[in-house]
Amino acid sequence: CPPCRAFTPKLVEFYRTHAKEKNFEIIYVSSDQDERQYEEYYKEMPWLRFDFRQQRKRDKLMKVFKVSGIPQLILFDGDTGNILCTNAMEQIQYRDKKGELFPWKQH
C-alpha cells in the first residue's frame, strides 16, 4: 500500500541508526496478498519477519492487537511482552524522529 511504501524507508533509517544502541528488534508481519509480493517487499527490510504462510496466526495477532489499518507499528517490552506504545509509527514520522525519547510509552 502507498502509506506502507512511504513509511518503510523512514523505518529502515530509524532501525539502522538506533537498533543496536537502543537494543530493539522489529518483526515484520505482512498484510500482502500473495507470497511473491511479500518476498519482494521484504527485500527492503533489514529486520526479522513473520512467516507469510502463517496467515491464521497473523490474523489472530491482528485481532488481539486490534490492528485496523496498515501500516501499524506497535512497541512491546521485550522482557514482559507488555505493549508500550501503539502509535510508534507516528512517533518516528512526527514526534520523535531522532529517537531521543525512545522507548516511547503510551500515556
Could you report the per-residue pLDDT of 45-77, keeping only the tens digit for each?
A: 999 999 999 999 999 999 999 998 889 999 999
* pLDDT for the residue 99: 94
Q: What pTM was computed for the model? A: 0.89
- Percent of the chain scored above 70 by pLDDT? 99
Cα(60)–Cα(65) distance, integer angstroms: 8
Cis-peptide into 103, omega within 30 deg: yes
* pLDDT for the residue 2: 85
- All structural domains of the chain with their residue ranges: 2-95
Average confidence score pLDDT of the chain: 93
CATH topology (fold) of 2-95: Glutaredoxin (3.40.30)
What secondary structure letter does DSSP report for 65?
Answer: T
Cα(77)–Cα(104) distance, integer angstroms: 10
